[in-house]
Amino acid sequence: MSITEVSRERYAALEEMVRREGKGRWLVLTHDNPDPDALASAQILARVLRQALKQTVTVAYGGIIGRAENREMVKGLHLPFSHIRHLSLKKYKHFALVDTQPRSGNNQLPSRVIPDVVIDHHPIRANTQTGPFFDVRPKYGATATIVAEYMIAAGVQPTHALATALVYAIRSETLDFAREHTGPDKAIHDLFFPQANHRLLARIQSPRLPLNYFGNLHDALENLESVDSLILSHLGPIDQPDMVPEIADLLLRLEGKTWSLVTGYFGDRLYLSIRTTNPRADAGGLMRRLIGRRGKGGGHGMIAGGWIDASKVNAPGDRRELQRKLGLRLVRELKKNPEKLGRVELRTLTPGPSQG
Ligand SMILES: [Mn+2]
């Protein structure tokens, strides 16, 4: 397997840096509410640091591993993750961020810490470039692909569990290659697919779902609104933040729709997700404009997420009003007519003959 020359060169630079900086505990950190790409990337980087570079590594996340698929991935594959709130950061000498960047607002790395390593595929941020080592490739469909190339460059083999995690990360992040990806994503997927545990992979892809999942989904379907090719839904309190992107993905499958927006409250934050089928769109830029300075957000061309601080928005009426305004802002950004935004009634089919 020929990996990209860039990866070979970047891995050599990483090796150089690690040798130069010497030993000391590493903390590899994902973004908050980690998705499969973040989970797999963190574990693979940890394996490279341990196996090839003989380092001591802890892997941690912030927020919640919420989606049933992601919980099954961590549990079924026995991926060792610590929650950052249980760690004392003083104990770590080195820090690595995967699938996220410093000061992006979606990870728990304190802003005073400059991470030794940043590996990501979101658009590069100014703060990232002040660190000693970063590899940010927005063209890649998955961060896990970049890290897997390092693994090959390092001559490290994945365990079956890690191969499974890697395959699932690339598939879920690219929606089975329907969403942005590049040649290396497919090549890495195909290379490691034979080493994946296919029974566990199937279980991760169709996990058992808690009743609350159906409750949140029900709320989302009760609150559908649409104008033209945009479909949106505003949720009240949700069980876990990942419900927002999950429903945004689902709504985008509705016939005739090319944009989806979902918002929902979790704790003090209003979470937002935007999805589009348009490969030339800039969903990340739209998300940043929607959120402004009241929170943090970003993403890629066809997929974006973020949150708004809603700690001072407490009355249910005010909370709904905030959502309504955000929806209208997206309607205008997409040059659609706000007056045509209306509820979507699901029960428009004529009822069959009465059973009574
Ligand atoms: Mn990612």
* pLDDT per position as a tens digit, 277-311: 999 999 999 999 999 999 999 888 899 999 999 99
Average pLDDT over residues 330-353: 87
Centroid of ligand 1 to alpha carbon of 173 (angstroms): 6
Centroid of ligand 1 to alpha carbon of 194 (angstroms): 23
Centroid of ligand 1 to alpha carbon of 145 (angstroms): 10
Centroid of ligand 1 to alpha carbon of 272 (angstroms): 17
Query: β-strands 269-276, 303-309: how paired?
Result: antiparallel
> What is the distance of C-alpha 353 from the center of its chain?
46
Average pLDDT over residues 322-349: 93
**For 84-100, what is each residue's pLDDT tens digit?**
999 999 999 999 999 99
Centroid of ligand 1 to alpha carbon of 339 (angstroms): 36
Q: Residue 282: what residue type?
A: D
Pair 248, 262: CB distance under 8 Å: yes
Pair 277, 253: CB distance under 8 Å: no
**For 221-232, what is each residue's pLDDT tens digit?**
999 999 999 999
The four Cα atoms 179, 176, 304, 272 give a dihedral, to 10 degrees, of: 140
Question: In sequence order, which residues have a C-beta less than 8 Å from that of residue 107 and are 6 or more positions away?
Answer: 29, 30, 31, 32, 62, 97, 100
Centroid of ligand 1 to alpha carbon of 336 (angstroms): 30
Centroid of ligand 1 to alpha carbon of 37 (angstroms): 5
Structure confidence at residue 12 (pLDDT): 97
What backbone phi and psi angles, to 5 degrees, belong to 301? Answer: -65, -45
Q: How far lies 70's CA from each of 39, 209, 353, in Å?
A: 8, 12, 43
CA geometry: angle 166, 72, 221, nearest 5 deg: 105
Average pLDDT over residues 27-38: 97
Q: Mutual orientation of helices 143-153 and 36-51 as an angle, nearest 10°?
A: 20
How many percent of the chain have pLDDT more than 70? 97
Nearest to 67 by CA among 305, 253, 243: 243
**Distance between CA atoms of 239 and 259, rounded to whole angstroms?**
24
**For 232-253, what is each residue's pLDDT tens digit?**
999 999 999 999 999 999 999 9
Q: Mutual orientation of helices 160-173 and 143-153 as an angle, nearest 10°?
A: 150
Query: In this structure, how many other beta carbons lie within 10 angstroms of the beta carbon of residue 196?
Result: 21
Residue 352, pLDDT above cutoff 70:
no
Centroid of ligand 1 to alpha carbon of 127 (angstroms): 19
**For 129-165, what is each residue's pLDDT tens digit?**
999 999 999 999 999 999 999 999 999 999 999 999 9
Structure confidence at residue 346 (pLDDT): 87
Domains of the chain: 5-205 (3.90.1640.10), 212-343 (3.10.310.40)
Centroid of ligand 1 to alpha carbon of 312 (angstroms): 31
Centroid of ligand 1 to alpha carbon of 97 (angstroms): 12
Strand order in the sheet with 94-98: 82-83, 57-61, 26-29, 94-98, 117-120, 133-136
pTM: 0.89
